[in-house]
Every structure is written in C-alpha cells, then in structure tokens.
C-alpha cells in the first residue's frame, strides 16, 4: 500500500480542515503519479501538459573553471559566469517535469476558462527588450502554431497557470497548494543534464548545437513547435533553446548558501526570479545547462516561457522501497539483527549508521537514500532488542553481566557492509545518534581505525576508551551535532567534551542554540515514554532541522568521495595550532609539524588558509613585514595552488624589499588565475574575489615597474 493510499484512508471522513480536504481530493491523482517508474509519461487531465517522471539522484550543480574558460573564449564575460559557482552537490527526490514547455494552445485553454489578462505589453525591439503595448502571448511579433511554446508570460503569469491547473486536478478553486508548481533551479539543471556532466546535454561539441536546439544561428528569429529537436536522456524536449524557462527560485549571485536538497531558494517576495535554458535569440554558449538568468517576477518578453514541475507525494517512500534491501544478520548466539542495505549504483565507499536507544534504524532512511544516490553504499541496523531485531539487551544493566557484546554485534554489521560487492572497504564512514548510536559509532571507528575515514556523531557520548581514541585520531574527519533543546541533558556538555578531546583539525561542530537548555527528566537508554520528544535529540534533529540531512550528506560525500579521509580544516578545531603559530618560534614549529605530516599524507592540513592569512595581513598592517612574510610562507606551504596565497605573499615580499620574490609570486598569481584549473583559494572562488586577487597582483607588478 502506498503512502498516499494510507493517507487517503486515514483522512476519509475528516472534511473540516481545508488542507486535509485538498489532500483527500488529490489522493487519487497522487497515487497514480507517484507509482509510475522513472521515464513514464503521463497526463493528469485533458488540459494538463504531458509530464515525465524524473528519477531521484544527485547533481553537481554549476560550472567548472574549465567550462567558464571555454565560455569566455566563446563570447561570455567572466562576470556573466560568476553566479555559476561554487560547484556543489545537490540531492533530488523523484519528481515529474513537463515533457515540453507549456504550449500556446495549453496556455490558451487556461485563458479561455479564467479570462486571465494578457497584460500591458511585452518586451520586444531588436534586443533592447523594451515593453511594447499591443505585443502579448497572442501577438508576440512572429507567427506561432498552437504547438509553439507560449511566450510573453511572466513568472506571475506562470504561477497563475499553475494555480489553475492545481484547481482542476484537485477539483477545487485555483490554488497554489497542489502537486503542480514551477521547478526549482536544481531540479531544472538536474533534468536538463539528464545524467551528463558535459558542456551541453548532448556533449562538448558546440558544432552540434544546431541539431539539438533552437538558438540565434538557426531559429530565424522566432520560436518553433515543441519537440522539433531530439529529447535528452530523460525524454525532455527543448531543455536548451527555444524559450527561457522560469523556475521557482529567488536569484542569488552565488551558490554558497543555496539548498542542497533540490528545493527552491526563497529569500522573499520582492526577489528576482531565475530563468534557465536560453532561447531562440541568443548564441550557443548560453545553451549550457549551467547558464543562469534572472528577471523581475512581472517581466514579460517574447523570449520567456515556462515548463511545469509536479511533486510526486509518495516519491520518498517509493525510492526507499526500490533502493533498500532487507538484511538478516545472525550473531554467534543465534540472534537475528535486522538491517537495511542501500546499494549505490556503482562501486564506492560505505557508511554504517547506528540509531539511538529510543528510535530505530528507520530514522536514518532519508539520509541513507541520499547517500546511496551519491554513490555511497549504506547500511542501517537495528541493535539487539531494538526495532525489528531479536534478543534482549543487558548492556545497560549494571547488576547482570551481558552474554553478548554490543561491539561484537556491531562488528557483524560492519563486516557485512565491507563484504558487499562494490564497497570500497578501505573507505568507510560511520555515524551514530544518541547514547547508544554514538557509543557504537566511536567503537566501530576505534576497532577499524585504518579503514574508517569519516565519523558523524549526533547527541551522545562515549566511554573513556572512546575518548582516548578521539584524542589520538588526529587526522580523522569528525562531524559533531547537538542542540540546546535536547530532552536528555547534559547531552550538550557531553558532546562538547567529545569535541574538545578530539584532536583532529578536520572536525566540525554544528550546535543548534536556544535561549536555555531543556530540563533533566530521565535517561535516554531507560526512557519508556517518560520524556516527551522535542525534536532536539539524535535523529529527531533530522526532522526539526531540514538542512541537517544535507549537511550529513555533504560531509560524507566530501570525506569519502571527493577527498577520502579529508575535510576542510575548521578555525575552531585548529585553535591550538593558530595560537601556537602566534607565539615566538611558533611559525617554525608549525611548519615543521606540517612538513612531517605531509610525509605520510600529502593532503594533510593543520589550519584554514584564510584564518592564518588574516594573521599575516595583520602583521603587514602593523608594519611587521618580516613576520608577515614568515606567516604567509607557511600559508603557501599549506596551500601551494592558491592564487590568493601567492598574491598575499607577493605583497609581503614587496613591503619587505624582496623585489625578485615579489615579482615571482605576482606572476604566479596571474598564471594560476588565467589557467582556471584550480579554485582561486580554498575558501573563495567567486569572480569578484578572483578580480580582487588579480588586481592585487597587477598592483605589485606596477609598483615594481615604477621602481626601476
């Protein structure tokens, strides 16, 4: 039985709340759509556009430095491409997207039924895009068929069409509360790429553009019927060219703070709205899936159209059923431990997740699905006597010696994970929640220290041997998460104790603060309904803080896939090192320590680039040029590919009178920026920042030339 069916049955007869009524009315539609497999094409009603079910998956959103360089060489400006960064991973649930842009005929049905106004003019006039009266979706200034994409529609017009369509499928008045909507920017790019990572969805060759899209060189300065060019791998037509397509998102000039779960970025009603895909009027470099544009919500233009998205209400559950595999793990005493295995589609690392004592493995489902979609094989397990597992648990009983070892049970789960085909057994992550889960996770990491490359701990504590392990695990990436409203105090203090004892500079603390901590009522391991849940403990945090599953997903992707066994160094985590290098002789000591670490691990880090760079700049501002050079040399040793580090050192050398070295590092700065093969620094790669670095290097060279 699907989630939607259960919901429908539970709500039947309750007609008092409007939102419940909308859910009831949409149950039949929700069930029909959510049960279709990816690639299925469906239509909810006679006037509804055809929709295609898009599979769940992950997306590397944005463009690489190499792609930006190509675009600049083909007509773009660096400023126009700056908002395509930083590249980042986004996880998307299954959803449906319009097979085509909404057509003129489909939009006309909406207008006939609602008498929706065409508006006061539409942008036209040879590229100036000044609004002209008499120009509208009905008369855009060129001939159209009913199968051409509708144009001269604003974001507001598109939302009105969405509300009308929701009213039809829900059999109610027009409403924004329904399955149809505009796609998020992440959904749009994911669907446009259709699994590719190339410059265009069809490949890297610009010469093939005319065979796949309508754009400036082949459009004849007008739109063309939808579906006239080939579909991409997801079965979607015209995802490049013909018309720009509105998305739900508010525009920001960087991806640094956008959601990573595929949802739309919303910053307020007055924002500019993002449109994607380019159009018949523009050159080929804009046909890239990474291209972004933005316009006011009331903006109408003869290059602007839209495409619908549709939420599949039961998609998360359907994905779980299709990805997870039930597993029985047998212990030496015959007890069956129940587990769920979420296999990735290709070989990759593994993650083992432990639950807290008052929850079960199912609380990790959403995170596990995300990780599997990102290429990380994930095992969740119910501990002995918890959830679906059998046996009894005497481990908390001080008077009765347990006949089993929890750590041995956990080892059985660990060995199952690393034995699975496709699991890279040398790259494993472990996560745990609550007193039981954190204890289990730290113990698993301690027993398998050589293979465990990442640790995630939510709201718990460990014993003395676990703390000793964290003290000595100086290069293990560790994510600690805790909330002040945790219903089992003193969990906050226990997690802070783990954090300060952990010696790794690659640790991060996520602390959700409130004005005061929750009162003590009872212990988590012995909670039999005594303590009301507040959403502040363990895996309950995943629901209370919607961004947290994405944080955990990104942490494991970084530490297991992108840079196994490594995470960006945190300023708070490296406080001792930062304090040391500000003491007499400290820079030399830290330099020696980093050099020794690099002999075994060339990627080892002890401090964040920007933090120590600030210290060097402070010496510069104080006129202590020799100390500035010493500190900034250390920064460059740690981050040798950073144009920012080279530029800062060039300025320090110039101030210290070392002109040849100043010239050498200024030139190296410009070479790195021009090559665009690596980020400008470890902390920022935006075009404005690159511009500042470039200007600094050029200023150094100009001063050197003037001094000759």
In 320-387 the beta strands, taken as DSSP E runs, fall at 324-330, 336-342, 348-354, 377-381
Please list, in sequence order, all residues whose beta carbon lies within 8 angstroms of the beta carbon of residue 396, skipping any fewer than 6 positions away: 525, 526
Give dist(CA 427, CA 564) in Å, integer: 7
Instruction: Write out the two tokens for 406.
Output: 């929890």
Residue 402: the pLDDT is 53
Residue 268: the pLDDT is 57
Residue 26: the pLDDT is 39
Q: What is the average per-residue pLDDT within 171-200?
A: 87
DSSP 8-state symbol, 200: B
Angle between helices 315-323 and 365-373 (to 10 degrees): 70
Instruction: Write out the two tokens for 287.
Output: 């046909």
Please list, in sequence order, all residues whose beta carbon lies within 8 angstroms of the beta carbon of residue 174, skipping any fewer than 6 positions away: 114, 160, 163, 164, 166, 167
Residue 546: the pLDDT is 86
Q: What is the average per-residue pLDDT within 577-587?
A: 94
By CB neighbour count within 10 A (0-12 exposed, 13-18 middle, 19+ buried), where does 544 fall?
middle
Q: What is the overall mean pLDDT for the chain?
A: 88
Bigger pLDDT: 654 or 373? 654
Q: What residue ranges define each of the domains in the chain, with the CATH number in brackets?
A: 1-35 (no CATH), 36-311 (3.90.1580.10), 329-562 (3.40.50.1820), 575-706 (1.25.40.10)
Q: What is the average per-residue pLDDT within 659-683?
A: 92
Residue 112: the pLDDT is 94
- 3-state SS, residue 427: strand
Give dist(CA 374, CA 351) in Å, integer: 12
Half-sphere exposure of 19 (CA within 13 A, CB side): 1
Residue 336: the pLDDT is 93
Q: What confidence category does residue 31 fall into, taking pLDDT thresholds of 50, 70 and 90?
A: very low
Residue 462 reports pLDDT greater than 60: yes
Q: In what order do the strands lie in the sheet with 304-306?
A: 293-295, 273-276, 244-250, 304-306
Residue 126: the pLDDT is 44
Range with the largest mean pLDDT of 194-198, 366-370, 372-376: 194-198
Residue 28 reports pLDDT greater than 80: no
> Do you know the residue count of the chain?
708
Residue 176: the pLDDT is 58
Q: Give the chain's end-to-end CA distance (angstroms, integer).
A: 82
Share of the chain above pLDDT 70, in %: 89
Residue 152 reports pLDDT greater than 90: yes
CA distance to 75, 591, 612, 638, 652, per residue, from 629 (Å): 40, 13, 12, 14, 6
Residue 129: the pLDDT is 56
Closest of 335, 484, 473 to residue 412, by C-alpha: 335
Q: What is the average per-residue pLDDT within 44-67?
A: 92
Q: Please list the residues that pair with 90 across neighbouring strands.
A: 59
Residue 309 reports pLDDT greater than 70: yes
Range with the largest mean pLDDT of 257-261, 390-394, 549-553: 549-553
Structure confidence by residue, pLDDT tens digits, 86-137: 998 888 889 999 999 999 999 999 999 999 998 888 987 444 457 788 899 9
Q: In what order do the strands lie in the sheet with 51-54?
A: 41-42, 51-54, 95-98, 309-311, 180-181
Q: What is the average per-residue pLDDT within 358-364?
A: 91
- 3-state SS, residue 467: helix
Residue 14: the pLDDT is 34
Q: pTM here?
A: 0.62
Residue 21 reports pLDDT greater than 50: no
Instruction: Write out the two tokens for 387.
Output: 């959830």
In 99-162 the beta strands, taken as DSSP E runs, fall at 122-124, 130-132
Range with the largest mean pLDDT of 18-27, 386-395, 464-473: 464-473
Q: What is the average per-residue pLDDT within 130-149?
A: 91
Residue 261 reports pLDDT greater than 50: yes
Q: What is the average per-residue pLDDT within 283-311?
A: 95
Structure confidence by residue, pLDDT tens digits, 504-561: 999 999 999 988 888 888 888 766 567 888 889 999 999 889 889 989 999 999 999 9
H helix count then E strand count, the chain = 23, 21
Structure confidence by residue, pLDDT tens digits, 398-427: 555 555 578 889 999 999 999 999 999 999
Structure confidence by residue, pLDDT tens digits, 484-514: 999 999 999 999 999 999 999 999 999 999 8
Closest of 380, 423, 371 to residue 57, by C-alpha: 371
CA-angle at 113, arms to 110 and 307, nearest 5°: 10
Residue 186: the pLDDT is 96
Q: To which residue do tokens 């050029």 refer?
A: 698
Residue 30 reports pLDDT greater than 60: no
- Helix (H) / strand (E) element for 180: namely strand 180-181
Residue 586 reports pLDDT greater than 90: yes
Q: Please list the residues that pair with 42 across neighbouring strands.
A: 51
Q: What confidence category does residue 161 fall into, taking pLDDT thresholds of 50, 70 and 90?
A: very high
């Amino acid at each position: 039985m699907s989630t939607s069916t259960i919901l429908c049955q539970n709500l039947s007869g309750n007609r008092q709340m409007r939102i419940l009524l909308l859910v009831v009315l949409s149950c039949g539609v929700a069930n029909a759509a959510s049960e279709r497999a990816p690639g299925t094409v469906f239509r909810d009603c006679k006037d509804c556009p055809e929709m295609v079910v898009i599979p769940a998956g992950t997306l590397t959103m944005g463009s690489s430095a190499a792609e930006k360089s190509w675009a600049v060489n083909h007509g773009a400006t660096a400023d126009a491409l700056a908002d395509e960064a930083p590249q980042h991973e986004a996880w998307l649930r299954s959803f449906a997207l319009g097979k085509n842009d909404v057509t003129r005929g489909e939009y006309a049905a909406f207008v006939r039924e609602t008498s929706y106004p065409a508006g006061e003019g539409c942008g036209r006039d040879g590229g100036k895009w000044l609004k002209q009266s008499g120009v509208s979706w009905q008369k855009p200034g060129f001939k159209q068929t009913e199968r051409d994409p509708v144009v001269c529609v604003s974001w507001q017009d598109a939302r009105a069409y969405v509300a009308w369509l929701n009213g039809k499928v829900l059999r109610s008045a027009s409403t924004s509360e329904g399955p149809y909507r505009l796609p998020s920017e992440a959904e749009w790019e994911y669907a446009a790429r259709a699994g590719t990572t190339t410059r265009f969805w069809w490949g890297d060759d610009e010469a093939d553009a005319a065979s796949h899209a309508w754009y400036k060189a082949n459009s004849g300065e007008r739109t063309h019927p939808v579906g006239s060019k080939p579909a991409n791998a997801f079965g979607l037509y015209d995802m490049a060219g013909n018309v720009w397509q509105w998305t739900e998102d508010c525009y920001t000039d960087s991806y640094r703070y956008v959601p990573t779960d595929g949802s739309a970025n919303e910053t307020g009603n007055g924002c500019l709205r993002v449109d994607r895909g380019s159009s018949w009027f523009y050159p080929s470099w804009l046909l890239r899936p990474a291209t972004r544009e933005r316009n006011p919500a009331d903006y109408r233009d003869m290059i602007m159209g839209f495409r619908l998205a549709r939420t599949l209400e039961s998609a998360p559950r359907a994905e779980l059923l299709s990805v997870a595999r039930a597993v029985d793990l047998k212990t030496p005493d015959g007890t069956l431990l129940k587990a769920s295995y979420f296999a990735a589609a290709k070989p990759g690392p593994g993650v083992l997740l432990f639950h807290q004592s008052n929850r079960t493995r199912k609380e990790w489902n959403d995170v596990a699905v995300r990780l599997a979609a990102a290429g990380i094989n994930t095992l969740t397990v119910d501990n002995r006597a918890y959830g679906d597992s059998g046996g009894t648990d005497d481990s908390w009983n001080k008077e009765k010696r347990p006949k089993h070892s929890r750590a041995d049970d956990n080892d059985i789960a660990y060995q199952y994970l690393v034995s699975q085909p496709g699991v890279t057994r040398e790259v494993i992550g472990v996560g745990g929640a609550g007193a039981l889960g954190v204890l289990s996770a730290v113990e698993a990491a301690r027993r398998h220290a050589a293979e465990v490359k990442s640790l995630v701990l939510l709201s718990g504590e460990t014993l003395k041997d676990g703390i000793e392990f964290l003290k000595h695990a100086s290069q293990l990436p560790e994510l600690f998460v805790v909330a002040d409203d945790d219903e089992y105090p003193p969990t906050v203090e226990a997690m802070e104790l783990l954090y300060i004892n952990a010696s790794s500079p690659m640790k991060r603390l996520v602390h959700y603060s409130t004005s005061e901590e929750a009162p003590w009522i009872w212990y988590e391991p012995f909670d039999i309904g005594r303590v009301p849940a507040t959403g502040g403990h363990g895996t309950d945090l995943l629901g209370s803080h919607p961004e947290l599953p994405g944080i955990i997903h990104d942490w494991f992707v970084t530490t297991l896939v992108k840079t196994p066994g490594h995470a960006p160094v945190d300023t708070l985590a490296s406080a001792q090192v930062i304090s040391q290098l500000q003491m007499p002789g400290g820079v030399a000591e830290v330099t020696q320590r980093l050099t020794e670490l690099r002999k075994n691990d060339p990627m080892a880090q002890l401090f964040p680039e920007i933090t120590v760079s600030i210290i060097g700049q402070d010496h510069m501002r104080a006129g202590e040029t020799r100390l500035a050079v010493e500190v900034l040399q250390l920064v460059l040793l740690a981050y040798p590919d950073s144009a920012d580090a080279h530029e800062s050192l060039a300025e320090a050398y110039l101030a210290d009178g070392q002109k040849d070295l100043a010239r050498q590092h200024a030139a190296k700065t410009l070479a790195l920026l021009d090559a665009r093969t690596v980020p400008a620094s470890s902390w920022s790669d935006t075009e404005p920042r690159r511009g500042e670095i470039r200007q600094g290097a050029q200023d150094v060279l100009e001063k050197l030339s003037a001094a000759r």
